[in-house]
Chains A and B, each alone.
Chain A
Amino acid sequence: EAQVTQNPRYLITVTGKKLTVTCSQNMNHEYMSWYRQDPGLGLRQIYYSMNVEVTDKGDVPEGYKVSRKEKRNFPLILESPSPNQTSLYFCATRGKGGSTDTQYFGPGTRLTVL
């Protein structure tokens, strides 16, 4: 079964405490990306990766890092989280067909930064 998994699903943390949200996919997709979803703002892209060792900034990259050391994993790193990073985060993957290929989303990670 095609799957995108994220961990943790829920996280409450404090300002400044480094955290990592993992994303893993079993579809052998090259393209992976991270979005945050906030009320009234829709989904906004944080970072994306076209392939292993290739990452690029999306619309709202400030305060985030990513890495793509292997095809199946694309972790999102918050080195020093702040309250404005409280949000619902989604990882997504897509095949080679470009933006017209179906994008699969993970179940989401609810992050609260106190």
Chain B
Amino acid sequence: GESVGLHLPTLSVQEGDNSIINCAYSNSASDYFIWYKQESGKGPQFIIDIRSNMDKRQGQRVTVLLNKTVKHLSLQIAATQPGDSAVYFCAETYNTDKLIFGTGTRLQVFP
């Protein structure tokens, strides 16, 4: 499959553990944030989003936390599974049609 980059930060976790992937965003005016998952050979896939008027949002096994004070976003994956292995991107937007993407973090899940 396609690799998205050779120099991505990598997080290695054991199957069943919780994963936390972090993202520092650039614009304090950004008002909407998204996490994407990109598996090898595929395009990015929407996971979860959060608006700037919230500091936490939960989905199925995933939670996004937003700290506007330090411009930090995190994605927490509970009970990480081998199928969670992928590259994860955050994206931000500030009242425009344009998304600004981060460079990504590779998550590796080992048995």
**Which residues of A line the B interface, CB within 8 A?**
4, 31, 37-45, 48, 50, 58, 88, 90, 92, 98-100, 102-108, 110
Report the bound CA distance from A92 to B49 in whole Å. Answer: 17
Q: Which of A37, A41, A90, A107 meets B41, CB within 8 Å?
A: A107
Is A99 in contact with B44, judged by CB distance below 8 angstroms?
Answer: no
Is B32 in contact with A99, judged by CB distance below 8 angstroms?
Answer: yes
Report the bound CA distance from A103 to B47 in whole Å. Answer: 11
Q: Which of B5, B7, B41, B45 meets A105, CB within 8 Å?
A: B45
With a cutoff of 8 Å between Cβ atoms, the chain A residues found around residue B102 in the complex are: 42
Interface of A is mostly: strand
Is B46 in contact with A102, judged by CB distance below 8 angstroms?
Answer: yes
With a cutoff of 8 Å between Cβ atoms, the chain A residues found around residue B98 in the complex are: 45, 58, 99
With a cutoff of 8 Å between Cβ atoms, the chain A residues found around residue B99 in the complex are: 45, 99, 103
Is B44 in contact with A39, judged by CB distance below 8 angstroms?
Answer: no
Is B43 in contact with A106, judged by CB distance below 8 angstroms?
Answer: yes
With a cutoff of 8 Å between Cβ atoms, the chain B residues found around residue A44 in the complex are: 101
Q: Which of B6, B32, B43 meets A4, CB within 8 Å?
A: B43
Is A100 in contact with B49, judged by CB distance below 8 angstroms?
Answer: yes
Are A110 and B2 CB-contacts (below 8 A) given A42-B104, A90-B44, A102-B46? yes
Is A37 in contact with B4, judged by CB distance below 8 angstroms?
Answer: yes
Are A88 and B4 CB-contacts (below 8 A) given A43-B89, A108-B42? yes
| 20 residue pairs A–B, Cβ–Cβ below 8 Å | A38-B5, A39-B6, A39-B7, A40-B5, A40-B103, A41-B103, A42-B103, A42-B104, A43-B89, A43-B101, A88-B4, A90-B44, A98-B97, A99-B32, A100-B51, A103-B46, A105-B45, A107-B42, A107-B43, A108-B41
